[in-house]
Structure 1
């Protein structure tokens, strides 16, 4: 509570001065209220839950006969390079086909535009193969998986990078 204390007159003769009033403010109730409010809001708030993406990995087939053959016309390959570089081409990467390696980025006008293009979306059998290079970052894999989720791409696979793909990237960098 606030108290007002009056200063007594000094009793000397002379001019009469106005009485000086000093105010003493007790802050204890306000501090108690602040802590009660802080405790209330901390206990009643809901914290954001981490969002996870579920990935179901297939069982590795025991024999070659159990594997499903993939046509080059139904394949798109995305290569994750070092320093956040991203390359893609259509097909399986057979050197005889001489695929055109195109460099893009992770933006909405980059790989997302390719994934929603009619060439990819109109083909129900289209499978996107993701091939990270040795020096690519984990963040790049997460970013491309996010893009696949955003574009609602159903068929995709994380695949080991082949020597042909490494040569394609090296020839692209050499240009």
Structure 2
């Protein structure tokens, strides 16, 4: 705290006394460090990255099914594996379910080639179907590929039973 030390001199003249003030700054320094540490712990240095994902309210609002020549289906599997096809239930076999990698020359080129080969590239749709064994990172990477390839039409769906059977056959 503050101490007052009177300046006592024995002079013959009567003067007003000047009190010297000695102030202890330790509590003020402690308070300063507490405030600095409080603001450092409560401040967000990096804002979290959020993916904007809009899903339809019901499946009835989807309308007609997507033409297979204007779409590609990506199946996200275990161990960072990605499979794709552009076939229907009758045509698809485990041999025709092909694998592609997540690198620049794999998935990106595949989507761009399929978009160019589509009947109507303006409505080209990518359907992403993660399996139960897929990890979240692969799902986010697939969504990032949609941004890289500028694919505006994409959807996320569950695997159908026949796709699950062909996928399991492919892994064996």
TM-score (norm 2): 0.65
Deviation at 1:59, TM superposition (A): 2.0
Structure 1 runs (4+) deviating above 3 angstroms are 96-99
Deviation at 1:153, TM superposition (A): 0.7
Question: Whose helix fraction is larger, Structure 1's or Structure 2's?
Answer: 2
Other structure's SS at 1:76 match: strand
Structure 2, unmatched stretches of 5+, are: 1-28
Deviation at 1:62, TM superposition (A): 4.3
Deviation at 1:133, TM superposition (A): 0.9
Structure 1, unmatched stretches of 5+, are: 1-31
Contact 1:80 1:87 in 2 (8 A): yes
Aligned length in residues = 137
Contact 1:95 1:164 in 2 (8 A): no
Contact 1:75 1:127 in 2 (8 A): yes
Is residue 107 from structure 1 mapped to residue 99 from structure 2 by the alignment?
no
Q: RMSD of the TM alignment (CA)?
A: 3.2
Q: Which residue of 2 aligns with 1:139?
A: 137
Q: CA separation in 2, counterparts of 1:86 and 1:97?
A: 16
Deviation at 1:79, TM superposition (A): 0.3
Q: CA separation in 2, counterparts of 1:96 and 1:107?
A: 28
C-alpha distance 87-71 of structure 1, shift in aligned 2 (>3 A): same
Q: Which residue of 2 aligns with 1:21?
A: none
